[in-house]
Structure 1
Amino acid sequence: MRLDSSTARLALEVRNPDLLLTRFYTFDTHTHALDQLPLPEAKAWWQGLEDAEFGNLYLHGYGNRQIGQHKGISAYKAAEQSKLWEAPDMAFYGIAADGVLAYHPDCPELPLQLLNPQTGKPTGSTCSQQQAAEAVARYSRERFLDCQYPVLYRLGEAYFAQVQAFLQEQLQVQAVLALEYAETEAHLVISFYTSDDSGKLKNELAVFDLDGKLHQKMEIASQLNGFGSDTFFIFNHKLYFILNKDILQVFQLLA
């Protein structure tokens, strides 16, 4: 799941490894309209979601499928679910303020190129990998100004122990392995895991006010073999998360 904050749209990739099927969707957070990109099913499995910005979804292909090397960039206009352009010989690096940064996967020593986000054509600007990393980080701070992703804390880290103790006191649960934490002006949002007798994990999401009062608690996944990351995010005072791997749910965080 990726957020295009400039148009308040979500891009979603849904994979079914048993059937080797992949589908890509765009979700308008204002109208709640969900639309699927019209991609051939056989081709879609060999594509993946890179990012969403400038009103577009950017997908990658694979150069070496055995090692998962990304190669090829396809851009789709989210509002119309139509293909804009394709750069089959380039690989996606990241989003900068002026466009899409890309590199040649077969010649990684070459400078990165800046592509026009609407046409895919090189703008003529090039940069080093360090300059590209700085440009992506700089624009990320700007584009996600109204968006908040949680911080992942793992077992053994100091903040994990602090939040684990808070959950034990408030909910009488023993969080294990890892948890994700986000704090807004009015709420604490925590995604955590508990283990059953068989060793399987359950992922739960809890919302507290700043006084520690519980406002919402729900199970969002079960029978897990391991923990994940980015299990939720907050955008324009709304909490977004995936329930049971196939349901997008949105909660309004009231002040």
Structure 2
Amino acid sequence: MWRMRLDSSTACLALEVRDPDLLLTRFYTLDTHTYTLQQLDLPQAKAWWQGLEDAEHGHVYVHGYGNRQMGQHKGIAAFSEAGYGKVWEAEELAFYGIAAAGILAYNPQQPELPLLALNPQTGKSTGITYTQQQAAEEVARHSQTRLGHCLYPVLYREGEVYFEQVQTFLQEQLQVQPVQALEYAETQNWLVVSFYTSGEEGKLQNELAVFDLEGKLHRKMKIASDLNGFGSDTFFIFNHKLYYILNKDILQVFQLLA
């Protein structure tokens, strides 16, 4: 499982699953109310060269590649979360983010040009444009609104003050030695930490721990091993539920009491 994105307007989770051995990529949606899983209808011949950008407005937004060697994103395709196929496509533009005005996109061949706001239902330009600075501010502002009920962790790297503070807490509570990076999220009742410890042959092991605000451990599990480096967004919290990926291919959900 490569990437997850949440459509907070529909409580639908978009999933990108990649098989590097077979060069296959599949995209799914998961209804977080009913846990109904549905595969998006994309041509498998092209799917390896596509990737998940985001999900919102009942659509899953997928990118293609302009320069495959450089990993340059080009093309935006919107697919219906309800299984109605492709809704629209903008082949010459690249996805930047989601703002109140719509889908913000730029020309990858001329990235210095103003960014365009696209109608999320049609992919057509609304006529609204933004500078790079304005686009960054609009996306950040809108993220606080649309993901207000969703909490993503903050990534702290080794050497940063907050990394050292959480590292000390974990050393005292779990007798472990976190290394390289960790992710931290705090709700009104819970502390959730994703951290890494050193394994055999320099590989990393990723563990997830859930504490109450008094520091009492309620759940601890190893979610990945034999890693070459650390990742980000290893978990998120939505509607009092903790979502995380186990061993790269299993989505698990843990209920957090309100």
Q: If the length of structure 1 is used for normalisation, what is the TM-score?
A: 0.97
The one-letter code of the counterpart of 2:39 is: Q
SS at match of 1:198: helix
Q: How does 1:97-176 map to 2 (within 5 A)?
A: 97-176=100-179
Which structure 2 residue ranges, 5 or more long, are not aligned? Answer: none
- Give 4+ residue runs of structure 1 displaced > 3 Å after superposition: none
* Matching of residue 180 in structure 1 with residue 194 in structure 2: no
* Matching of residue 215 in structure 1 with residue 218 in structure 2: yes
Hey, what's the Cα distance between the residues in 2 that align with 1:82 and 1:68?
A: 25
CA contact (8 A) 2:41 2:83 kept: no
CA contact (8 A) 1:203 1:220 kept: yes
Hey, what's the Cα distance between the residues in 1 that align with 2:225 and 2:84?
A: 33
The one-letter code of the counterpart of 1:25 is: Y
1:78-126 deviation digits (Å, cap 9, x = unpaired): 0225110011111111101121011111122322111110111111212
The one-letter code of the counterpart of 2:224 is: A
Aligned to 2:35: 32
Hey, what's the Cα distance between the residues in 2 that align with 1:103 and 1:122?
A: 11
Out of 89, 95, 98, the residue aligned to residue 95 of structure 1 is 98
1:183-209 deviation digits (Å, cap 9, x = unpaired): 110011000111124211111100000
The one-letter code of the counterpart of 2:24 is: L
Hey, what's the Cα distance between the residues in 1 that align with 2:14 and 2:158?
A: 31
Aligned to 2:76: 73
The one-letter code of the counterpart of 1:73 is: I
Aligned to 2:9: 6
Q: CA RMSD in A?
A: 1.0
* Matching of residue 230 in structure 1 with residue 230 in structure 2: no
Aligned to 1:56: 59
Hey, what's the Cα distance between the residues in 2 that align with 1:177 and 1:250?
A: 26
CA contact (8 A) 1:36 1:81 kept: no
Aligned to 2:22: 19
Return the offset for 1:133: 1.2
The one-letter code of the counterpart of 2:214 is: D
Hey, what's the Cα distance between the residues in 1 that align with 2:247 and 2:128?
A: 44
Aligned residues: 255
CA contact (8 A) 2:104 2:135 kept: yes
Return the offset for 1:165: 1.3
The one-letter code of the counterpart of 2:45 is: A
Hey, what's the Cα distance between the residues in 2 that align with 1:48 and 1:144?
A: 21
Residues 158, 18 of structure 1: CA spacing in aligned structure 2 closer, same or farther, 3 A cutoff? Answer: same
Hey, what's the Cα distance between the residues in 1 that align with 2:70 and 2:200?
A: 36
The one-letter code of the counterpart of 2:230 is: F
